[in-house]
Amino acid sequence: MKKKVITVLGPTAVGKTALGIELAQLFDGEIVSGDSQQVYQKLDIGTAKASPEEQKAAPHHLIDVRGVTEPYSVYDFVVEAKAAIEDIFSRGKIPIIVGGTGLYLQSLLEGYHLGGNLDQEQVLAYRAVLETYSDEELGQCLEKANIRLEQFTRRRAIRALELAKFGQDLTNSEKPYDYLLIGLSDARERLYERINQRVDRMVEQGLVEEAKWLYDNYPDCQATRGIGYKELFPYFSGEMDLTTCLEQVKQNSRRFAKRQLTWFRNRMEVSFYQVSEPDYKEEIVQAVREFLELSYF
């Protein structure tokens, strides 16, 4: 029987962190962060990193594993997440991946490997480029490569282009784990209100000061690309007022949430639960119990 991994995903501010901790406590699990920004040390507020108290409530992995000036890629995540998963299994615990970075999660869960001497980073970098293309642009790439698909989907198109580029060095393999994908969502109005409230709380917790430290010390590093930091830079440079910049943080966060949901619904087989429904946690717990086949719970 394959080892089993739980994955909690969804848009920003929907409640992934809290649910992940609850599941870890219920099922003796440990959490692997699936977020591209929470890897950075000293960037705690703007990345919505689990607080020290939350990290004590359940062990967390892949948080604070990079300095703010260090690069971090999808390749790094896949390698380090797999290592964390195996470490968790070695201690008899259940890995629970929690995050909202779609490309990272999909790349981890894909289930194929590279043969020969091909560097996996090349494939993941190529995929990251393809993911920026529109459906029309992907279709044009397929046409140029003389590839015909019986039914077009983004996932099939990208996979076909990867195979065409890397040939026999890219081979299918059986997925090493069974994954239960738990998606959290909510009505758009409620989700957007959650996002707005979260930004307000971040400001109270010191978001502006955290962003100012980044602006003063490392204004050009990769970490500044995260929402919540770059929007405040015009305030620090005197180009905009703080209220306008904070509204931009909220607006970009709402747009990002929409893109996250689109990604998960179109590219991954996810069972979604509406967090405004009163019994959604009970339904999720039951689904996890059945997935793990633990009759003694």
Q: Give the gyration radius of the chain's Cα atoms.
A: 20
CB atoms within 10 A of CB 107: 20
C-alpha to C-alpha distance for 225 and 238, rounded to whole angstroms: 20
Residues 6+ apart with CB under 8 A from 292: 4, 27, 94
Point out the annotated binding site for substrate: 12-17
pLDDT at 167 (0 to 100): 65
CATH number of the domain within which 76 lies: 3.40.50.300
Looking at the structure, tell me whether residues 266 and 180 fall in a common domain: yes
The residue written with tokens 């917790």 in the block is 205
Residue 101: inside a domain: yes
- pTM of the predicted structure, to 2 decimals: 0.82
Looking at the structure, tell me whether residues 259 and 190 fall in a common domain: yes
Looking at the structure, tell me whether residues 23 and 144 fall in a common domain: no
Residue 192: inside a domain: yes
Number of domains in the chain: 2
Looking at the structure, tell me whether residues 77 and 194 fall in a common domain: yes
Point out the annotated binding site for ATP: 10-17
Residue 43: inside a domain: yes
pLDDT at 281 (0 to 100): 97
pLDDT at 297 (0 to 100): 42
- Per-residue pLDDT tens, the chain, 297 aa: give them: 789 999 999 999 999 999 999 999 999 999 999 999 999 999 999 999 999 999 999 999 999 999 999 988 888 898 899 999 999 999 999 999 999 998 889 888 875 444 445 566 777 788 888 888 888 999 999 988 888 887 788 877 887 888 788 765 555 555 678 999 999 999 999 999 999 999 999 999 999 999 999 999 999 998 998 899 999 999 999 999 999 999 999 999 999 999 999 889 887 889 999 999 999 999 999 999 999 985 444
Looking at the structure, tell me whether residues 142 and 253 fall in a common domain: no
Q: What is the extent of the structural domain holding 129?
A: 112-172
pLDDT at 157 (0 to 100): 85
Point out the annotated binding site: 10-17
pLDDT at 120 (0 to 100): 66
Looking at the structure, tell me whether residues 201 and 126 fall in a common domain: no
124, 142, 172 — which closes off a domain? Answer: 172
155, 172, 189 — which closes off a domain? Answer: 172
pLDDT at 169 (0 to 100): 57
pLDDT at 147 (0 to 100): 86
Nearest to 15 by CA among 245, 197, 178: 197
Looking at the structure, tell me whether residues 38 and 163 fall in a common domain: no
Looking at the structure, tell me whether residues 62 and 181 fall in a common domain: yes
Looking at the structure, tell me whether residues 95 and 232 fall in a common domain: yes
Residue 297: inside a domain: no
pLDDT at 115 (0 to 100): 46
Looking at the structure, tell me whether residues 99 and 234 fall in a common domain: yes
C-alpha to C-alpha distance for 191 and 27, rounded to whole angstroms: 28
Looking at the structure, tell me whether residues 41 and 165 fall in a common domain: no
123, 155, 172 — which closes off a domain? Answer: 172
Looking at the structure, tell me whether residues 63 and 30 fall in a common domain: yes
pLDDT at 150 (0 to 100): 72
Alpha helix stretches (DSSP H) within the chain: 16-26, 52-57, 74-90, 102-109, 120-130, 135-144, 154-166, 188-205, 207-217, 233-236, 242-267, 280-292
Residue 33: inside a domain: yes
